[in-house]
Amino acid sequence: MTGSMVNISKRWGYHGLDALKKASPGYLMLMGAFALLALAGVAVGLHGMVTGYHYVYGVSREISWGILISAYVFCVVTSTGLCIISSIGHVFGGEAFMPIAKRAVFMSIIFMLGGFCIIFFDIENPFRMAIYNVISPNLSSNMWWMGTLYGAYLVFMIIEYYFLLEQNHSLSRLMGFFGLVVGIAAHSNLGAVFGMLHGRPFWYGPYLPIYFIFSAAMSGGCAIMFVSTLAWKINPEIMNQRMERSIKAVCQVTIFLISTIMFFTIWKIVTGMVSHDKSLVIMALVNGDYAINFWCFEIFLGMVLPLFLLLRSRGNNFNMIMWATGLMMIGIFFMRYDIVIPGQMISVYHSLGVEEALDTIKYTPSFHEIMAALSGLAVICFAYFAGEKMLNGHQLEKHEIVPEGGYICPGCGAIHFMEEGETEEDAMKRHHKIW
Amino acid sequence: MNFPKIDLNKLKNEGTESVTVKERRNFLKLGFAITGVYASGKILSLSSVLNDVAYASGGADFVEKYPYNPHYSMVIRQSLCIDCEKCVEACNKTNHVPEYGYRTRILTRKYQGQLDKKVEFIPVLCNHCNDAPCVRACPTKATYKDAVTGIVRMESKKCIGCKTCMLACPYDARYFSAERHAIDKCDFCWDERLSKGETQTGCSSACPTGARTFGNLTDPENIVFKLVHQLEESVWVLRPEDGTKPNIFYMKGNMVSVDNILKGQKFIYTDPAKS
């Protein structure tokens, strides 16, 4: 038993509970706080399940998807995004993106599991789901495809992660490819769950599936930078030159993606303003109930501030990147909330002009809902901090694909390429400009 | 069969002047039949009566085909509704609807500046759409279109409670029932009345003014058939833009012509000056 543990420790960089024992008391207290929060959230969620969600949740007949669905969307968007951005490296061979792969895939799995924790407390009969999703599938339902494909996605990601640990690069690449395809299919289906609801003009149309994919990539870039720079705070040793270059590359891609989402958002607002059906919702976002959510969180924290800070950081200033992406994660949460809730605020009978449907419908998350959503997020944080220690910063072993003709530089850890007739030393000197 | 041999090249062109109106109509009908068979045999059979009504008012001689038999439907004569809510009470009692939910309700529309009316009541319920968005959205087929009657029904044990159908429904006809552990909705009282041999739903039998008329759209003697198949008063559905092909029809229902049809007096002329 001990022998195999040593073996795993060597091959996978798995340091087990020993690594946790060595962690500082502050670190353990932080982990403990997240564990407590997760347990408290689960307890409150189970209490709600026993009492009946109807009595304790803020959702109603008209607004039947609340903060739990928003948090679920947040988690799975981030998970898919982590998969998309990391696949640039370990699936498509973008060398600069390779060092982030292991942490990204690990976090992708964790975010997905966190999302499942949250949806567990939203679905009224989660146990029936396991049975009837299999024996009574409705192939025309986006919800069915979304659930099924996300299940498959999780399986692919776990297998991929196993092969990454095993350093079986061809199989991890294959699984990564399947995971990416299934993940994108699943995620666009999540967009279509909203986008194919006729009666909801704010959601209806092809916009959301497309937006979700780009938004996922943006969230993924943001999350990778956040978890990597936070890991650097925890253990500065994880930053070698290859990681630095990787962060810089992710930073560039994320800047591009934030700009794309800004573009999407601008046109969503402008086109919505001239649409009779959507303008009420758009005005609630621009100048109404959701204005603080929209301007302060979605626009400022989610896009403008991170864009500015990431540009300022030039991809080198990790402190700045950490703050930018950390705040951006909060902004992104509100971005999801601003899609899910306002889409339901107009009654389907509003256009009929009846008294009952003149006003917009209000929703306030209840204590039970907030705690159940926090349980999933706390699970993610707990698993992240545990993973950083137990898996030794996801860094010990080389897990990246080294292209042919390349080698890992012992000095900086980056992949260098030798030219013909060149020795490794010459190549290193050339790369590092030591003449 | 023997066909006479005709050399088309030797035939004289008769021109179109000699074609009678009747022949033209027959030719057009033939065209409809062919497109019906080849282009949309299936689509046609799925199409709702709304399309057929449109055809009917277009003047084409068209025999309606309804996808279900009995094709249950409700025609709501809006002007007759007085908001007594007896239908809602009857529904709640018949179907054991909990106090936080409802299967049907009556909406109120207020007017200003009209001479005859200041307020109008609009009963709403599940529209039992032929192209139901809730049925498409349900991941586990817990809600389905009954193959015989066209009623959108629930198989409660399959409902996972994801609430997608509640949002998919453009008529707000669904709610989650904690007692049933499933989504609950109007089933035209199938479980409680129709399947036990009754012919009316709880709400339609409770309605004191006849605002709610329930029946079988395939039966020419049935009141809903008569109310839908007339030209004088317009018949509409709610949210036609969603393309759901609903089976709840609305009309004002206060014109003499409609009464005449219901009495079987089809072509009686009433002079407004005399009456």
Q: Among partner residues A125, A136, A356, which is closest to B108 by beta-carbon distance?
A: A356
What is the model's pLDDT at position A420?
75
Residue B140 and residue A137: Cβ atoms within 8 Å?
yes
Residue A125 and residue B172: Cβ atoms within 8 Å?
no
Residues contacting residue A77 through CB under 8 Å, at least 6 positions apart: A187, A212, A215, A216, A219, A332, A336
Average pLDDT over chain A reads: 85
AA identity, residue A302: G
Residue B164 and residue A347: Cβ atoms within 8 Å?
no
Residues B129 and B52 grouped into a single domain: no
The dihedral of CA A178, A179, A182, A188: what is its sign? negative
Domain edges within chain A: 12-401, 403-435
Q: What is the pLDDT of residues A48-61, one digit of tens each?
A: 888 888 888 888 88
Contacts 24+ apart (CB under 8 A), B265-273: none
Q: What is the pLDDT of residues A316-360, one digit of tens each?
A: 888 899 999 999 999 999 999 999 999 898 888 988 888 888 888
Cite the DSSP H helix spans in A274-304.
Answer: 276-287, 291
d(CA A188, CA B239): 27
Residue A141 and residue B136: Cβ atoms within 8 Å?
yes
What is the model's pLDDT at position B68?
84
Residue B168 and residue A52: Cβ atoms within 8 Å?
no
The one-character DSSP state at B236 is B
Residues B82 and B217 grouped into a single domain: yes
Secondary structure element (H or E) that encloses residue A180, with its range:
helix A169-195
Q: Among partner residues B108, B133, B171, which is closest to A355 by beta-carbon distance?
A: B108
Residue B108 and residue A354: Cβ atoms within 8 Å?
yes
| DSSP assignment of B94-121 | HHT--TT--S-EEEEEE-SS-SS-SEEE
Q: Among partner residues B161, B171, B242, which is closest to A123 by beta-carbon distance?
A: B161
- Give the β-pairing of B182-185 and B105-110: unpaired
d(CA A409, CA A287): 55
d(CA B206, CA B82): 13
Mean pLDDT to the nearest integer, B125-132: 91
The one-character DSSP state at B175 is E
Residues B90 and B33 grouped into a single domain: no
Q: Among partner residues A144, A344, A351, which is closest to B139 by beta-carbon distance?
A: A144
Residue B168 and residue A198: Cβ atoms within 8 Å?
yes
Q: Among partner residues A64, A147, A356, which is closest to B163 by beta-carbon distance?
A: A64
Residues B192 and B253 grouped into a single domain: yes
d(CA B143, CA B163): 11
Contact yes or no for A82/A153 (Cβ under 8 A): no
Of the candidates A158, A325, A115, the residue with the CA atom closest to the CA atom of residue A231: A325
List b or e across B184-205, with b for residues whose CB sees 16 or more CB atoms inside 10 angstroms: bbbbbbbebbbeeeeebbbbbb
d(CA A73, CA A123): 14
Residue A125 and residue B182: Cβ atoms within 8 Å?
yes
Per-residue H/E/C for B240-260: HHHCCCCCEEEECCCCHHHHH
In a domain, B268, yes or no: no
Mean pLDDT to the nearest integer, B136-144: 92
B265 — pLDDT class (breaks 50, 70, 90): low
How many C-beta atoms surround the C-beta of residue A164 within 10 A? 27
Residue A349 and residue B124: Cβ atoms within 8 Å?
yes
Q: What is the pLDDT of residues B31-52, one digit of tens each?
A: 444 443 333 333 333 344 444 4
Partners of residue A52 in chain B, C-beta under 8 Å: 178
What is the model's pLDDT at position A99?
81
d(CA B272, CA B158): 57
Measure Cα distances from A258 to A220, A326, B57 in Å: 11, 15, 54
Contact yes or no for A384/A233 (Cβ under 8 A): no
Secondary structure element (H or E) that encloses residue A374, with its range:
helix A367-390
Residue in chain A closest to B179 (alpha carbons) equals A52
A216 — pLDDT class (breaks 50, 70, 90): very high
Residues B49 and B78 grouped into a single domain: no
Of the candidates B82, B91, B120, B123, the residue with the CA atom closest to the CA atom of residue B106: B123
d(CA B272, CA B275): 5
What is the model's pLDDT at position B34?
43
d(CA B194, CA B192): 7
Rounded to the nearest 5 degrees, what angle is found at the Cα of B128, between the Cα atoms of A339 and B153?
90
Partners of residue A140 in chain B, C-beta under 8 Å: 136
- Looking at chain A, the whole-number percentage of residues with pLDDT higher than 70 is 89
Q: What is the pLDDT of residues B80-108, one digit of tens each?
A: 888 999 999 999 999 999 988 899 999 99
- Cis before A206 (ω within 30): no
In a domain, B9, yes or no: no
| Binding-site residues on chain B for chain A (CB distance < 8 A) | 100-101, 105, 107-110, 122, 124, 133, 136-142, 157-164, 166-172, 174-176, 178, 181-182, 238-239, 242-244
Partners of residue A132 in chain B, C-beta under 8 Å: 140-142, 158, 160
ipTM score of complex: 0.81
What is the model's pLDDT at position A432?
58
Tell me the fold of A12-401. Answer: Formate dehydrogenase/DMSO reductase fold (1.20.1630)
pTM of structure: 0.82
| Residue whose token pair is 């198949």 | B229
Domain carrying residue B35? 14-58
d(CA A401, CA A205): 40
In a domain, B161, yes or no: yes
d(CA B51, nearest CA chain A) in Å: 19
Residue A198 and residue B170: Cβ atoms within 8 Å?
yes
Partners of residue B243 in chain A, C-beta under 8 Å: 198
d(CA A131, CA B140): 9
Secondary structure element (H or E) that encloses residue B137, with its range:
helix B133-137
Contact yes or no for A325/A226 (Cβ under 8 A): yes
In a domain, B273, yes or no: no
Q: What is the pLDDT of residues A60-116, one digit of tens each?
A: 888 999 999 999 999 999 999 999 998 888 888 777 888 888 889 999 999 999 999
Contact yes or no for B74/B189 (Cβ under 8 A): no
Residues B40 and B139 grouped into a single domain: no
Quote the tokens at residue A308.
């500015």
Residues B210 and B245 grouped into a single domain: yes
What is the model's pLDDT at position A4?
55
d(CA A134, nearest CA chain B) in Å: 8
Of the candidates A403, A361, A399, the residue with the CA atom closest to the CA atom of residue A62: A361
Quote the tokens at residue B275.
């009456």
Q: What is the pLDDT of residues B195-205, one digit of tens each?
A: 888 888 999 99
Residues in chain B, total: 275
d(CA A386, CA A173): 26
d(CA A375, CA A114): 8
Q: What is the pLDDT of residues A388-406, one digit of tens each?
A: 877 766 664 444 456 666 7
The dihedral of CA A63, A64, A65, A67: what is its sign? positive
Quote the tokens at residue A258.
């934030």
Residues B51 and B182 grouped into a single domain: no
Average pLDDT over chain B reads: 79
Contact yes or no for A379/A115 (Cβ under 8 A): no
Q: What is the pLDDT of residues B228-263, one digit of tens each?
A: 888 888 888 998 888 888 999 999 887 777 777 777
B59 — pLDDT class (breaks 50, 70, 90): very low
Residues B94 and B122 grouped into a single domain: yes
B56 — pLDDT class (breaks 50, 70, 90): very low
Residue B194, pLDDT > 80, answer: yes
The DSSP bridge partners found for residue B106 are: B123
d(CA A302, CA A191): 20
Residue in chain A closest to B135 (alpha carbons) equals A141
Q: Among partner residues B167, B171, B174, which is closest to A344 by beta-carbon distance?
A: B167
What is the model's pLDDT at position A9?
62
AA identity, residue A420: E
SS3 content of chain A, % helix, strand, coil (to 5): 75, 0, 25
d(CA A62, nearest CA chain B) in Å: 7
Residue B108 and residue A136: Cβ atoms within 8 Å?
no
AA identity, residue B230: Q
d(CA A315, CA A154): 31
Quote the tokens at residue A156.
């692919």
Residue B4, pLDDT > 90, answer: no
Of the candidates B156, B11, B158, B12, the residue with the CA atom closest to the CA atom of residue B96: B156
Number of domain units in chain B: 2
d(CA A250, CA A322): 13
Lowest mean pLDDT among A302-311, A367-376, B59-68, B156-165: B59-68
Residues B45 and B117 grouped into a single domain: no
Residues B237 and B123 grouped into a single domain: yes
Measure Cα distances from A11 to A1, A261, A396, A410, B149 in Å: 15, 40, 9, 19, 64
Residue A52 and residue B178: Cβ atoms within 8 Å?
yes
Quote the tokens at residue A314.
């030039």
Contact yes or no for A264/A298 (Cβ under 8 A): no
Residues B53 and B165 grouped into a single domain: no
- CATH number of the domain that B220 lies in? 3.30.70.20
